[in-house]
Each structure stands twice: as C-alpha cells, then as structure tokens.
Structure 1
Amino acid sequence: MPVAPPRPKDLPLTALRAFEAAARLGGFAAAAQELGVTPGAVTAHVKQLESTLGAPLFTRTPRGVRLTALGQQTLPAFTAAFDALGTAVNDLRSAAAPRTVHIATLPAIAQLWLSPRLPALRAAAPDITVSITALETPPNLKRSPYDLSLFFDDTAQGRLTPDTIFPVCAPALAARLRGPEDIARFPCLSDATWSDDWHLWSQTLPDPPPIPQGPTFSLYALAVEECVNGAGLLIGHETLVAAHIADGRLIAPFPQRLTLERGLRLWSDRPLRPGTAARFVADWLRRAPFPSPAPTATHP
C-alpha cells in the first residue's frame, strides 16, 4: 500500500512579500504604502509568517522594528527573487500588449508637461497607446506595472532639464509690482508638494521680504490656474510653466531665479530594447522640444 504523507504547507506568498517589503524599506508603514495595503495587514502577514516559521524576523521596539539575524540573512535572496518575479510579470505584460506604454509621473508633470506633448507623440506613433498614472512618489519599477518613470529627482542620469524656480503671476498683478519687496502686499500661493519653494527662492535676495501666507493647493496645476486667474503670486517651476509664460498667461516679474539640484528625469529600471514601444516613447520624449520661456518682464 503506497504511503502518502501530508505535504508540508508552503509559506504564504503574500506573507513573504510583506516581510521582504518591510525588511527592505525599514518599516511596516513604508511596506504598506508600496504594497497598497494597510500597515495592519503587513503586521498580520509578518506575524503569520513568524508563527509558521517558529522564529522571529523582526525585533519590535518603541522606535519601530529592526531585522533579526535570521531576517538579515534571508532578505537578499527574497529581494532578488521578487525583483525577478516582477521582471517576469512585466515582460509577460509587455509581450501581451507590445504597443502599450505605461508611464508613472507626478500629477503636475502629467498635467503641465506630459499632456501637452501627447498629441504630437500620437501623430508620430499612432500605433502606440500611452497610459499615464499620476503618483505622488516614484514607484519601484522592478515591481510595478510601469515602463517609464517621470519625476523630479537629484539623479543626473536620464535628466531632461534642470528645475529652475522663480515667482510668476498674472500680467495685471505684475503691473503693480516694482520689486521683490512688493511681494509682501499680495497673497503668495503654494502647493503641498513643494511647500518650501518660497523660502528657497527668497534666499536668493539680499534682503528677503516677508512672504504672506496665501492659499495652499494639493495640486500644483490648480495653483497655476489660480495664479493665472490673478489670485496671487506663485513660485513657478520653469519646466511646468514655460508654456504659460510663452503665451503671456503668466509673467516672471523679477530677474532672480534659482536652479535646484534636482531636475526632471525620465528613466526605467529595465532595459529598453531597440524597436520596442517603450524605447520609442522614451527616445521621443527626450527629443521633444521644450516651449521657450518668454523674456523676464521688467517694470519701472
């Protein structure tokens, strides 16, 4: 009579993924954000895995968690395995839809930089479908379903343009400004993503004026539109407001500009093979002309 002993249970894949993300990112909250679940779910998965193994993977402290020796020993292999799995999944997805390109980008870049270029891109490659997802932070391209990432960061490789900032406003408001000291008389708009813009730019002045607190917007594109509507001054990111300046909707009333260490960067964590749709789109975006900013306005 054949013997059929019960097979030992496999370790649950979701728990292994939660452990790897928490270990790699240094915490359950960061892992939850990457995996798109709650921190409580990550905690439960890790506890389940530790219970199944009969050994702890993390040491809990009032300041957070840290890996045990067992966790440190096993993390590199799991990271490599999930990276390989992510690559295989993305290769499968690309093979199933070879003429579709998925781009992850910041909402402001999607609305103010990428969207105006899409008609010309469609005309250049009508057989390619470009899908855009707006995210607040760059995704892990080894694990997520995106071919290209387009964000501001401080890495030089893949940079399209520097990030230069300066105040902008509607023409009617610009006519009432004589110099940077007049900023104190008008609302200064800001957005949640770049909340320190005004402080950074004001340090270029020998005598920085007080910056009145104006409305704060969760979307930079909305702040730009309100600036066009005359609601106040806004720190413009040249890459994003160049078209508004070129057509006169916004004016740069002062000559002082600040170029930050970061810049607009387009990259992929996977090789973009020649002849693929993702490679074509990436090359096209790198060659796409930037709108030429109008000369800085001066006032008597």
Structure 2
Amino acid sequence: MAHRLPPFSALRVFEAAGRCGGFTAAAAELGVTPSAVSHGVRTLEDTLGVPLFHRDQRGMRLTPAGEQLLQEATRAFEGLSRCVDTLTQPRTGRRLAGSVAPTFATGWLLPRLPELRRRHPTLDLAISTEREHVQLGDGRFDFAIRMAAAPSGAAEWHRLAPVGLVPVAAAECRLTLAEALARLPAIHVMAAGEDWDAWAALRGVAAPDPSRGLRFDTVQMALEAAAKGLGLALARLPVCADDIAAGRVRSLDAPVEGCTAYWLLTRPGLLRQREGRLFAAWLREQLEG
C-alpha cells in the first residue's frame, strides 16, 4: 500500500522547528533561512489543512495537532538516522572535540575514559580544558560540559546532574563541622558560581570568614590544598566523589544540592549522529550510576 505523506522537505523543517522551539533555531540547524523554515511549515499546514503552530503576541507554540505530528515525525527521523548511521558508519568513528571544565575533566571524566574506550572502542575524544567561550557549531568543538544555573545561548543544553556541595578537610582531620568552621581557614574557589556563601545560605549557618584562607581558580586545586591540611574546601559532587570515596579528603557533612548543575552542551544535530548519541548516553549512565 502506498504511503500517504506530505512533502518530505516540509516535514523536515517542521520537525526541526518544533524540536528546536522556533524558526530561527531550526534554520541554524538546517543551514537555511528562517523564512525558508516558515514557508515550509506553511506549506505543511496548507497540505494538511490544520494549523501546527499558534502565532500570537506570546510567540509561537505548537497546537495539539502540531504536538502530535512532532512526536511522530521526531520518532520517524530518529529511526531513519539510526538506520543510516548503521549502514554508513565506518569501522573507525569520527573524533568528537569537546571543551570541558578543568575539574570535571581531571576529577571525573579522565578516570572513566578507560571504561568508555572498552564500551565504544571506535569513539575518540579530543578534550580542551582551556577557560574560553566556545561557539558550538563553528567547526572547533562538538560539545562542552559546563557548570551553570540555567541554559543560555543558542547551543542545545542537556542537564546531566545537580551539583552537591559538601565541606571536606584532610583525611586525618577529626574535627566536627562546627569545630572545623571555627578553627580551619576556608579555601575559596574564585571562578565558582557557588562558593561558601551559597553553601552557608543553603545549610542555614554562618559563612566562613572570607578574609582568611587560600584562593584558587579551580576546585581541583582547592581539593588538593585541603588534602594537604591547608584548610577546609567546598567539594562539588559528583566530580569530587572519587576523592572522598578514596579517602584523599574527608567529608564533614552531608551534601546539599546547590542551584547549579552540570550540563552537556552540543552543537545542533550532534545527538542525531551516532557518536554524539553514544557519548551522551554513556555520560548519563555514568552520572546516574
């Protein structure tokens, strides 16, 4: 039986517009103009005889018919993409280039790369830990991993895990939390979005004296200083979990969930490609486990 379908090109731009949340983002992903996306959606609406988007002063929103069609169209395109990947994937996968926050890269990602290599031997990564603003999709980076409060910018954001804040000291420290706060200098991380003031507010206690203690630009250096007995550091979970589990530092309190999270940012379309899907799924599995 012949399949009764509207024009493929119109379905393609509609699916991108619905998934990306607008014509401009869809145009960037597809490499066309926003007006071309708008024209394609209009063509599809005319063919079907039903509106797919609400267009009013609040912006653009999918209609119930649009939501139904988007769900089916996305499922169909993802199935086609997986099939094409399977048919065309070479024995050696394409390298993914990523910009990763230094502490996440060294404290969490690097120790787990052997497991990633065993799981997906053809998946290669090129990781940069330079502190720089990256424009995903410009040909340099495929993804980034950042700690942030909320998505911003044009990249596709995927929440990986909340940030847990917990005070830690040297392994041999036997002070209680209250004693440590009173007697040990707090070690500060200058570049952190949430530091001792944020933890104290969440915990309902007074913040450590900001005039005392060492200051570093990475969480990893602060953790190293705490391990050497130089003060009290604020560890971030999950990236510092291995250091606590291995006994390099001792946690003095239960972690409290901060207002930030770790996010995977991807260039448009990356998760529709085999390498991107494998890497993102592996990240989520490791963090959830």
TM superposition score category, shorter chain reference: 0.5 to 0.7
**Percent of aligned pairs sharing the same letter:** 26
Structure 1 pair 150/102, CA: closer, same or farther in 2 (3 Å)? same
1:198 positional shift: 0.8
* Alignment partners' CA distance in 2, 1:181 and 1:194: 25
Structure 1 pair 141/259, CA: closer, same or farther in 2 (3 Å)? same
Matched, 1:127 2:122: yes
In the superposition, the TM-score normalised over structure 2's length comes to: 0.61
Match of residue 106, structure 1, among 97, 101, 104:
101
Structure 1 pair 122/98, CA: closer, same or farther in 2 (3 Å)? closer
Please show how residues 1-300 of structure 1 align to structure 2 within 5 Å.
84=31, 98-155=93-150, 158-173=158-173, 175=174, 177-194=175-192, 196-208=194-206, 210-211=208-209, 213-255=212-254, 257-272=255-270, 274=272, 276-289=274-287
1:210 positional shift: 3.9
Structure 2 spans left out of the alignment, 5+ residues: 1-23, 33-89, 152-156
Structure 1 spans left out of the alignment, 5+ residues: 1-76, 86-94, 292-300
**Other structure's SS at 2:176 match:** coil
Number of equivalences: 202
* Alignment partners' CA distance in 2, 1:281 and 1:237: 23
* Alignment partners' CA distance in 2, 1:208 and 1:269: 42
1:158 positional shift: 1.4
1:267 positional shift: 2.7
The answer to whether the Cα contact below 8 Å between 1:180 and 1:209 also exists between their aligned partners in 2 is no
Structure number with the bigger relative contact order (C-alpha 8 A, sep ≥ 6) is 2
User: How well do the aligned residues superpose, as a CA RMSD in angstroms?
Assistant: 3.2
* Alignment partners' CA distance in 2, 1:240 and 1:192: 18
* Alignment partners' CA distance in 1, 2:227 and 2:180: 19
Q: Deviations over 1:197-249 (max 9, x none)?
A: 01111223544154252111123212212212222110110111111111222
In the superposition, the TM-score normalised over structure 1's length comes to: 0.59
Q: Deviations over 1:17-57 (max 9, x none)?
A: xxxxxxxxxxxxxxxxxxxxxxxxxxxxxxxxxxxxxxxxx
Q: Deviations over 1:92-127 (max 9, x none)?
A: xxx9x9521111111111111211111111111222
1:169 partner amino acid? A
The answer to whether the Cα contact below 8 Å between 2:167 and 2:253 also exists between their aligned partners in 1 is yes
* Alignment partners' CA distance in 2, 1:281 and 1:194: 26
* Alignment partners' CA distance in 2, 1:267 and 1:155: 12
The answer to whether the Cα contact below 8 Å between 1:138 and 1:149 also exists between their aligned partners in 2 is no
Structure 1 pair 196/211, CA: closer, same or farther in 2 (3 Å)? farther
1:140 partner amino acid? Q
Q: Deviations over 1:279-299 (max 9, x none)?
A: 2222222212567xxxxxxxx
* Alignment partners' CA distance in 1, 2:131 and 2:228: 25
2:274 partner amino acid? T
